[in-house]
Amino acid sequence: MNKSIITSMIVGKLACSMPAVYAGNITLGEAESVAGMLTLPTSQKAGQLHVESAVEQTIDFIVKGVPQDSAVQVFLAYSKRDGFAGDWVAYGGEFGSGFELDPETMKLLAGVTVQPFTVAALLGEKTDLGEFNQSEVGVVLPVAISDLTKIGEEGDTIFFQVMVIPLNDSGVLQVELAQASEVDKFIIDRGTLNNTVVGKLN
């Protein structure tokens, strides 16, 4: 895994309100609630997906730390079972990624191709307020949540991970150079889960 690739999230329906500007800095490692839809995981506990409030809403996943030395494809994926890096050896050789989702239940939730950018010519020197941080380029992956009827039962766990795979000059995925974020775990809460009893992370 690559700890420089960070996933944050904001709730799409708040995008027009001032708090959403600051909510973009919420990382999946903080114990906060995103508009009641999610309780984010800590280093000791899995987070929670609160089904009743998340149904048919929108969550924007913000991926930071995307490499800028070549074009890449950025994927947000989830699985319904835990996995480990060794599971992926049978899927095309040794990955350089640290993919840790279960390959049999993994589904791609969102994905985009990101080209290296060039800084706008109008940007000058550092201002009194600060300067553009070119090393923290990111992308937003908006996800329209479904009715969640088939996502799982109360207490089941969903595993999320971001995968970044470079493209060569011919546009072919260079899987051996792929990178991935840490895996984040969310327990499904259908309204009766005790918020004080949440499974510990492995």
DSSP states of 64-114: E----SS-EEEEEEEESSB--GGGGTTTTS--SS---B-TTT-EEEEEEEE
**Domain boundaries, position 148:** 6-189
How confident is the model at residue 8, as a pLDDT? Answer: 55
Instruction: Say how many domains are in the chain.
Output: 1
Say what the pTM is: 0.74
How confident is the model at residue 187, as a pLDDT? Answer: 92
Name the token pair of 129: 């307020």
CA nearest neighbour of 61 among 17, 26, 19, 100: 26
Q: Give a yes or no: residue 195 inside a domain.
A: no
pLDDT at 181 over 80: yes
pLDDT at 72 over 50: yes
How confident is the model at residue 156, as a pLDDT? Answer: 94
pLDDT at 101 over 80: yes
Q: Give a yes or no: residue 199 inside a domain.
A: no
How confident is the model at residue 19, as a pLDDT? Answer: 27
Q: Give a yes or no: residue 197 inside a domain.
A: no
